[in-house]
């Protein structure tokens, strides 16, 4: 079934234009991936699973979801909480730094909107994407309920996709994150780890070691993002190395991995080969990093993707 939902947090983004000016937008790892997937594969129903508030920015964010053709069935609104916010700055090499205000965001209360009937609205063959950030944002007191929710989805035949996406500041300790990641790998059908995401927690330093780490889990597909160098994939007992053409005009690396995830998953949902999916996803990531902000302008993005067969 051509339907995928991205669970996590979309935030209010403030990007410094100069010392006195900021541009306001919306971004977050799962939202970014959803947008890029929907742009490239509009026949795939793509939705968000998150919690917002009832304030003006939350309403504007929901409008933005709908403008991007994202399903909002599972976008809940908390009567008191508001979205998280972050400030992003990029240096001359395109590397970014962040300042966050998200500790009391509405998204942390997402599980409060999940009753026993919510999981029954998901169907066999659909996909649910979660990231390490998704796990960290869920309130610690709600994580047991979250695992039970994923277990129920698995029993209904929903495919679970996991990208570790480790952000140390979101966790109380590395040990807490490590336990959560291991649980997520255990439940996942597809994993999209980056080498750097697992290096700190599991002492893994290269893509081949990531494959070795992931293989004992019952994963149907492993996609290892090794920065700008290459992508390794492992599926059906076949290990493939995919060279990636480097990009010289790097402006902002904010959502390169998010774009890769979204386009890769869209391609695979539409039954394209792993080789084709990686190349399309790499093109998406390479295009996104040539523009400022998490969401690249639609016209140049579509032009670049059309040139490679989207």
| List of domains in the chain | 3-306 (3.40.1190.20)
What pLDDT was estimated at residue 94? Answer: 60
Q: Look at residues 87, 62, 67, 79 and name the one whose alpha carbon lies nearest to residue 12.
A: 87
What pLDDT was estimated at residue 263? Answer: 98
Mean pLDDT in runs of 10 for the chain (310 residues)? 94 87 93 98 98 98 98 98 89 75 95 92 97 96 96 97 95 96 98 93 94 96 88 96 87 90 98 97 95 91 93
What pLDDT was estimated at residue 226? Answer: 87
Q: Look at residues 91, 84, 83, 101 and name the one whose alpha carbon lies nearest to residue 16.
A: 91
What pLDDT was estimated at residue 91? Answer: 74
What pLDDT was estimated at residue 115? Answer: 85
What pLDDT was estimated at residue 251? Answer: 87
Distance CA(308)–CA(306), nearest Å, equals 5
162 three-state secondary structure: strand
Is 258 assigned a catalytic role?
yes
* Whether the predicted model's global pTM rises above the 0.85 cut: yes
The catalytically annotated residue of 71, 197, 252, 258 is: 258
Tokens of 153: 């989805």
């Amino acid at each position: 079934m051509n339907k995928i939902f991205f669970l996590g947090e979309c935030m209010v983004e403030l990007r410094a234009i100069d010392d006195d000016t900021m541009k306001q937008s919306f971004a977050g790892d799962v939202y970014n991936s959803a947008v890029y997937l929907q742009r490239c594969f509009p026949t795939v129903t793509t939705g968000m699973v998150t919690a917002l508030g009832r304030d003006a920015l939350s309403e504007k964010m929901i409008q933005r979801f709908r403008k991007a053709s994202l399903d909002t069935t599972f976008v809940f609104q908390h009567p008191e909480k508001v979205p998280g916010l972050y400030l992003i700055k990029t240096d001359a090499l395109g590397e970014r730094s962040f300042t966050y205000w998200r500790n009391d965001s509405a998204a942390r209360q997402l599980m409060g909107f999940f009753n026993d009937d919510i999981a029954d609205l998901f169907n066999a063959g659909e996909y649910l994407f979660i990231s390490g950030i998704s796990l960290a944002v869920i309130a610690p007191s709600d994580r047991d309920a979250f695992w039970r929710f994923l277990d129920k989805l698995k029993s209904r035949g929903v495919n679970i996709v996991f990208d570790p996406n480790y952000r140390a500041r979101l966790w109380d300790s590395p040990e807490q994150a490590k336990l959560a990641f291991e649980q997520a790998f255990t439940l996942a059908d597809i994993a999209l780890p980056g080498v750097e995401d697992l290096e700190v927690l599991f002492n893994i330093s290269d893509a081949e070691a990531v494959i070795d780490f992931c293989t004992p889990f019952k994963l149907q597909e492993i996609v290892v993002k090794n920065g700008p160098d290459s992508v390794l994939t492992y599926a059906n007992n076949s290990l493939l190395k995919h060279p990636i053409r480097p990009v010289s005009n790097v402006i902002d690396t904010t959502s390169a991995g998010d774009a890769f995830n979204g386009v890769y998953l869209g391609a695979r949902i539409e039954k394209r080969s792993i080789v084709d999916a990686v190349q399309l996803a790499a093109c998406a990531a390479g295009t996104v990093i040539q523009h400022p902000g998490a969401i690249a302008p639609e016209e140049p993005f579509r032009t670049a993707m059309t040139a490679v067969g989207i």
